[in-house]
Amino acid sequence: MQIVYAASECAPWARTGGLGEVLRTLPRQIAALGHKVSVFIPYYRQVREYSQQQSPEKNYAVRDITIPFLGYSRFASILDGGTHSGVQMYFVDCPELFDRESLYGTPSSEYQDNWERYALFSRAVLEATKVLGAPDLFHVHDWHTALLPVYLRTLYSVDPILRNRATVLTVHNAGYQGRWPAATLECLLFPWDIFTPERAEFYGQFNYLKAGLVYADRLTTVSPRYAQEIQTPEYGEQLDGVFRQRAADLSGILNGLDYNDWNPAHDGNIAAHYSPENLEGKAECRRDLLHAFGAGRQDDSTAVIGVVTRLTTQKGIDLIAQVAEPLSRETAVLLALGTGEDYYENLLRSLAAKYPGKVYTRIGYDITLAHKVEAGSDLFLMPSRYEPCGLGQLCALKYGTVPIVRATGGLDSTIDEWNPETRTGTGFKFQGLGADEFLAAIQRALTIFRDDKEAWRTLMHNGMTADHSWTKPAAEYLEVYEQVVTSRN
């Protein structure tokens, strides 16, 4: 089978979160199963800078693709990014749209022409495959590439090369939808008959994600629990009705973790290596982490609590702030790493100022320090209001760092509550959005950390030996691909 992945990011070239990690690893897993796989991402400035470190030359796969808009055209080229672990990388080059400081926008707002940037990207992928070889299936991700299935079923519906190609759309986060004025539809040359409540219209706007949900052959999201949640008004971000209508075509497939990058047995970012059979190196990682945050030496009885997160409302930073005062009275220190909205960055700074010696923060994105937090912490907090899948808790499990999570989305799917009687479970969960429940979960964990070291080692071992690799998810995706290609043919 020939499969094309199209997405707005792919690690290590461009990454802001879990999407980039998925696009790094899933295609490689599918390629390893014997399929021909290509990945397309925009040729952002970050991609150019990373690529030039490997090779200063631009290698063109396709030159001068014309992308028409209402009253004008833009021109794009496809750069050959080489083959990596069996996956062919391609970059869509359009400097006036992608050669910018950031991927999606400034710290204060998204780029106002994102509607044009990602429409061009989706259509350029289609045009490129007519030259490079049309796949059996396009797998697109989130709103940025959700127009690709719409193009296929409208403007390309009579194209002799592309008209019968299958599509799968994965929703990584339904909260981001790509909503634009109705006139955007005309600018992109779509027929107005798709601008109805049953198709692409959303309260008077043109909604890229909704359009993709309607026109894609199959839908997936990144955990079974989130697949259920987005069909409810609470989590569906006003698209719950669409998700319910397409429930028969919606699968929840849990993301995996790339153990080549995240494994304390050989991680080059941490101070010492360790494994479930030999945990000695974790103590050195703990000391190294405390030093990196300027937290000095801490007694072994002091729990090191780590946080690595985007600083947004979704991530429950307000809950962390609400428990900071009672947590400051515990034998524990909190080390938080993240970047995001100004309000939450300042909130973390204020907590560090208010509770010196108890709360330490680093504002920014630092992948090396993120590895250190995962390896050196005893506990890891993820009190997300919603979390489609989550990467941090999977890393924490592998590194023997016990997660405390809100029971939502992928957090609920991947963490089992510790049962002291059966000695099973991998972490601690709380249900609601109240600080009291969150604090109670933390205190349950601290009690075991302080009073029952044997149970704590069992908890660590349970998490480190749990299999959250990509092997099972890749097989589930492949089953979806085979079904949809057979159906489309």
The strands making up 205-207's β-sheet, listed across from edge to edge, are 179-181, 205-207, 201-202
Please give the Cα distance from 329 to 340 (Å, whole number): 28
Residue 476: what pLDDT?
A: 98
Residue 18: what pLDDT?
A: 87
pLDDT per position as a tens digit, 112-144: 999 999 999 999 999 999 999 999 999 999 999
Domains of the chain, start order: 2-256+471-488 (3.40.50.2000), 280-465 (3.40.50.2000)
Residue 311: what pLDDT?
A: 93
Question: How long a stretch of residues is the chain?
Answer: 489
Helices (H) and strands (E) counted in the chain, each on its own, are: 18, 18
Burial class (CB in 10 A: 0-12, 13-18, 19+), 66: exposed
- Beta bridge partners of residue 303, listed in sequence order: 332
Q: DSSP alpha helices (H): ranges in 183-269?
A: 183-187, 208-215, 224-229, 240-245
The answer, yes or no, to whether residue 55 has pLDDT greater than 80, is no
Structure tokens at 165: 């190609």
pLDDT per position as a tens digit, 447-466: 999 999 999 999 999 999 99
Please give the Cα distance from 240 to 114 (Å, whole number): 24
Please give the Cα distance from 382 to 405 (Å, whole number): 5
Considering the entire predicted model, what is its pTM? 0.93
Please give the Cα distance from 174 to 389 (Å, whole number): 12
pLDDT per position as a tens digit, 5-30: 999 999 999 988 889 999 999 999 99
Structure tokens at 381: 């907090």
Q: Residue 137: CB partners within 8 Å, gap ≥ 6?
A: 1, 2, 3, 4, 165, 166, 167, 168, 481, 484, 485
Give the DSSP H or E segment for 48: helix 45-54
Structure tokens at 64: 């001068």
DSSP calls for 397-456: HHTT-EEEEESSHHHHHH-PBPBTTTTB-SBEEE-SS-HHHHHHHHHHHHHHHHH-HHHH
Q: Please report, rounded to a whole number, the percentage of residues in the chain having pLDDT higher than 70.
A: 100
Q: Residue 394: CB partners within 8 Å, gap ≥ 6?
A: 255, 256, 257, 262, 414, 468
Structure tokens at 92: 């869509």
DSSP calls for 97-155: HH-SSSSSB-SSSB-TTHHHHHHHHHHHHHHHHHHH---SEEEEETGGGTHHHHHHHTT
The answer, yes or no, to whether residue 107 has pLDDT greater than 80, is no
SS3 78: strand
The answer, yes or no, to whether residue 57 has pLDDT greater than 90, is no
Q: Helix 367-376 vs helix 280-292: angle between axes, to the nearest 10 degrees?
A: 130
Please give the Cα distance from 300 to 81 (Å, whole number): 48
Which candidate, 137, 120, 139, places its Cα nearest to that of 5? 139
pLDDT per position as a tens digit, 262-275: 999 999 999 999 99
